[in-house]
Structure 1
Amino acid sequence: MPVFLLRYVKFRAFSPQVFHVKQAFLRNRILALPSEVPLAQSTRSIPIIDYEGSSYKTDFWEGQGREFEDLTERHAVRRLLPSSGNVLVEVGAGFGRLADLYDRFERIVLVDYSTSLLAEARDRFGDDPRYQFVAANVYHLPFVANLADVVVMIRVAHHLEAIDVALAEIHRVLGGGRTFIMEFANKRNAKAIARYLLRKQSWNPFDAEPYEFVPLNFDFHPGWMREQLEQAGFRIEAELAISHFRIPAIKHRVSPALLARIDNAIAGPGAVFKFSPSILTKNISTKPHTPAVGFFQCPKCGNQGLEAKETGYFCPRCEETWRVQDGIADFRFPRPGS
């Protein structure tokens, strides 16, 4: 496997406090993974961040002053979710922060690359038979085509170097005419524009290309992201601009609940201008509807004929075994450390 060399980018536009928080998470392993197009034959490498063993829940969310961000994201996801459905897949579900929003769906699949974060989600939701916990790589999802009625991906896109490859894989898994809800970090936000015009940052927020402010952390131009979604086979049905008040001076003086309600009220109109740091899009797959056949497929070779065993799933085509341990199905490909 090729070695991914971590690049440290010098910049002036990013808050030092936030920079140190980000760098703490980047101490986790960074892996180089080949693209899935074609599935197991590509020579292209795509680096990802592995949060295995991290204390993300307590280091980034609980007690860290991000109650407003959590609440406003909940408001936005709830607004964009369909009223009901069979299978919902959340990609990058982590410890299950948003998983309680999905109770209107019959089968809820929480996907993350980190088994330790999934274990936290399992401890919270494992007694509910509707929930499944799957360790997988977004570039190699272990699901048959057209399986999901809804795919949700929040706070994940900013870690994706090959967003086009990830969107293509999500489009494959999503049923025709079904819903994909995605959040991405907005490069052209008000703070970045102001700093650029005041010559306090060198990078141009109006430039279409993604901006990597620290390794594997990207901000995206809304127009560029729209092009990526359309090229992947999605039509944007709705947009919400959120987290307008992600400013410590405001967050420390106004209750998170009130700020989130105000943010939610302006999220729709704000999407016209897109000056907020985060954008959520509700995207509809434009492919024809075709019923899914099966559920899991081999992430290595694409075989849909997996055989259920006591310890997991066996693929008779490539002879790989995908283990299920402590309620978590491990379909990570390539395997960690391979």
Structure 2
Amino acid sequence: MSDFVKKQFDAVARDYDRQRRQLIPCFDDFYGMAAAWVNCDNDAPHILDLGAGTGLFSSFIRSKYPKATLTLIDLSVEMLKEARRRFGDDQAVNYITADYAAYPFTQQYDAVISSLSIHHLPHPDKKTLFRKVHDLLIEGGTFINVDQAAGTTPFIDNYYMTQWENAIRQSGLAAEAIEASIVRRKIDHNATVHDQLEWLKEAGFSDADCIYKHNGFAVFAALKR
């Protein structure tokens, strides 16, 4: 993941959570559906959060699995500082400052989750990451990716972007924050739902589907069975 992406997220770390609801028109359904699909066979699972940022997605999972051990990995030091503030002295939360696409993980997990991060990777790197995630999961493990998705044609993709820009301009978010978020999205590498599902199946997942979609926002679930 590029240094430019890291700098962009370092800069907005302190306001990221507050802005997230305004930047995602479908926020409640988006995260609610994702959390509902993180299902583990024990009440003290080990869960890995890729591109964890401020730990927002992990906080939903912590509420669902109070005994879980969470590992949050992110390239941005500033984002993980916010995550540390969120979880305080919770000894069952671990932090790794690194590029998750290149990091040499040494254990397996009951679930791997990610939120609005993998779209930053070029498509070949997404394919490689999905294979890596499959290997990181125990048998019966689940991968939940809460992310962006490209439209199937340029016309539809442009429609999604127009709808999103209209929504955030009416959200009450400051003009400076709106423009910064639009700039950040210009460096995204969004892939279609179809392509991402194909890559998940190629990675070895027995079951994969898009379980929720609102224009360009999608939740993917993949199972290792």
SS of structure 2 residue aligned to 1:122: helix
Task: Select the structure with the greater relative contact order (CA < 8 A; seq sep ≥ 6).
Answer: 2
Q: Which residue number in structure 2 is paired with residue 122 of structure 1?
A: 84
Conserved 8 A contact 2:72-2:93: yes
Conserved 8 A contact 2:151-2:157: no
Conserved 8 A contact 1:184-1:220: no
Which of 95, 117, 127 in structure 2 is aligned with 1:156? 117
Q: Return the offset for 1:164.
A: 1.1
Distance in 1, matches of 2:191 and 2:157, equals 17
1:30 lines up with 2:2 in the alignment = yes
Q: Which residue number in structure 1 is paired with residue 36 of structure 2?
A: 79
AA aligned opposite 2:38:
L
Distance in 1, matches of 2:156 and 2:24, equals 26
Q: Return the offset for 1:109.
A: 0.9
Deviations 1:207-230 (A, max 9, x none): xxxxxx733x12212221111111
TM, length-normalised to structure 1: 0.50
Conserved 8 A contact 1:138-1:169: no
SS of structure 1 residue aligned to 2:202: helix
Matched pairs, number: 192
Q: Which runs of no fewer than 5 residues in structure 2 stay unpaired?
A: 160-184
Deviations 1:95-126 (A, max 9, x none): 11222212205201111111111011101203
Larger helix percent: 2
SS of structure 2 residue aligned to 1:239: strand
1:58 lines up with 2:19 in the alignment = no
Q: Which residue number in structure 2 is paired with residue 108 of structure 1?
A: 70
Distance in 1, matches of 2:59 and 2:141, equals 21
Conserved 8 A contact 2:48-2:113: yes
Structure 2 vs 1, CA of residues 231 and 239 (structure 1 numbering), >3 Å: closer, same or farther?
same
Structure 2 vs 1, CA of residues 152 and 185 (structure 1 numbering), >3 Å: closer, same or farther?
same
Q: Which residue number in structure 1 is paired with residue 175 of structure 2?
A: none
Q: CA RMSD in A?
A: 2.9
Distance in 1, matches of 2:90 and 2:157, equals 47
Sequence identity, in percent?
Answer: 20
